Amino acid sequence: MSTAEPPSTTALTGPSLTGPSLTAPSVTASYALAVLSATAEGTGGSGSWALPTDRLEYGEMRALWDEVLAARDAGPHTGLLVGDRIRPEGLHILGHLVLTCASLADAAQAAERYHPLVSQAGTVTLDRRDGVGRIGYRPTVGPPAMHPQQVEAVVSSMVRAARWIAGDDWTPLAVSFAHPRAGTAEPYARFFGCPVTFDARDNAVTVADADLDRRRPLYDPALNALHRAYAERLLQQLSAAGTVADRVRQWLERAPLGDAGPEDPARQLNLSVRTLRRALHAEGTSWRALLDTARHGRARRLLETTVLPLDRIAPLVGLSGATALVRAFTRWEGVPPGAYRSRCRPGSCEPPG
């Protein structure tokens, strides 16, 4: 993914966003099977899933959860059980990519980008400020379409995946859920090992910056790059017939960011700007958020792969100057660009997550 030269400042058309009509959210078969295998009754498999990368329409996944929750031994903590028992293969390539990440921050960034390979029914975000990071999960389907246990399975699986890197005794600072608690508090306290709140503003795992940035003593960047390249290829295939947000992300990967606006991707999708914004909102994101993420990713690549000064990088990522770049990059990464670059020689860093 890294390049020796910075992106051209000439106008780019970006990849075509036309194609099949927008699809409903889908979930990979590997995660569906992981949910089934995590339940005591093992409600069966499905002979129709030939490969772990096969996709289920979200309605099928909801029906599977209906079946799981109707089992005799199911209860309000079934979501915790599923998340606690998740294994790397249940998340397919994302699980294996997380296992080879250099730090929790790298793993969270990988989840932010590649979570659609597991499920398009929700988005993962990483927000860092004031010495902590919040790894959030927001469903992209309406509350009636998703059981609270499904949300709890995702959030608890994120903590379980973090423990693959940080160790089984690692605990976050706090966990929150947007829905009310349905069962007793003790299983949540036992699994997460930290304060857990309900009826909160969002679903999130709060992590100390020191934990996010702690490097693993043994890290193989070549193996991580192999997993990331495969994940990127699968993401491109999914995006070819994916959501509006997927297609806008694809366009932003190659577009000049200095004067990027929603008009161009909207035109290629045959949508009005208003309809585009409404579709992105329904998918749990916005044009501003996608543009910010694209600027973040391009800034990382330029810092990792070039020796360009900050005042030349800034316009390439659509910012007014070096001061604006320092401010934005510190918000994204928790460190200024100079400090980030000093620990990452050009051409040697792992690709951004």
> Whose CA is closest to 277, among 298, 291, 296, 259?
291
Q: How far apart are CA 56 and CA 316, in angstroms?
A: 39
Q: What is the pLDDT of residue 242?
A: 64
What are the tens digits of pLDDT across the range 236-268?
887 765 678 888 988 898 888 988 899 988 887
Hunting for tokens 């399975």 — which residue is that? 153
Average pLDDT over residues 319-331: 94
Q: How far apart are CA 196 and CA 198, in angstroms?
A: 7
Q: What is the pLDDT of residue 345?
A: 57
* Residues making up the chain, counted from first to last: 353
Rounded to 5 degrees, what angle do the CA atoms 86, 88, 90 make?
A: 60
Residue 135 near residue 160, CB atoms below 8 Å: no
> Whose CA is closest to 326, among 342, 311, 316?
311
Q: How far apart are CA 248 and CA 75, in angstroms?
A: 39
Amino acid at 190: R
Q: What is the pLDDT of residue 42?
A: 47
What are the tens digits of pLDDT across the range 161-170?
999 999 999 9
Cα-atom radius of gyration of the chain, to the nearest Å? Answer: 20
Q: What is the pLDDT of residue 212?
A: 97
With 0.75 as the threshold, say if the pTM is over it.
Answer: no
pLDDT band at 141 (very low <50, low <70, confident <90, very high): confident
What are the tens digits of pLDDT across the range 25-36?
889 989 999 999
- Asked if the model's pLDDT at residue 49 lies above 70, the reply is no
| Chain mean pLDDT for the chain | 85
Q: How far apart are CA 91 and CA 160, in angstroms?
A: 12
Q: How far apart are CA 351 and CA 300, in angstroms?
A: 8
Q: What is the pLDDT of residue 233?
A: 92
Q: What is the pLDDT of residue 241?
A: 56
